Amino acid sequence: MANPALRNIVATIGGIVVAVAGVFVVEGIGHAIFPPPEGFDLAVADDRTRLMELMPMGAKISVAAAWFLGALAGACTAIAASGRVLMAWIVGLVIALAGLWTTQMFPHPDWMLAAAAVLPLVAVLVAKRLMIRRIVSA
């Protein structure tokens, strides 16, 4: 793509799409391994609160892993497509904000709030190291 601004926009959007898809895939695997208890209605506030209390630690860890791995895949995609780390930081920030928004839907342990904010940004740092040869100097 000849226009660098357009390339950066496409790279960022592509990175976000890949990141969200990655989060859904990893969370889906986690839900398959740790299915929610029968009879829970996530539209009912008390059920959402009880669900987090009853959810096994492995299920919570799989959600945090989804935030990291999705952001990592999206950040690598953004760097590969644009050659710039800034696009990856945008992807990481979007996933961090989405994770924080998700944790506000019903009570999550404090460590999950921290993971939602920090892990996608750590994923960008990892992506930067993994994709160092694809980064162009500005």
What local confidence, expressed as pLDDT, does residue 52 receive? 82
pLDDT at 21 over 90: yes
CA 49 to chain centre: 23
Instruction: Work out the pLDDT band at 45, boundaries 50, 70, 90.
Output: confident
Domain boundaries, the chain: 58-138
CA 99 to chain centre: 7
| AA identity, residue 116 | A
Q: Which residue has the higher pLDDT, 44 or 77?
A: 77
Scan for tokens 């800034």, then name that residue: 86
Contacts of 35-42 with C-beta under 8 Å, sequence gap 24+, read: 42/106
Cα–Cα nearest to 36, from 21, 56, 20: 56
What local confidence, expressed as pLDDT, does residue 138 receive? 56
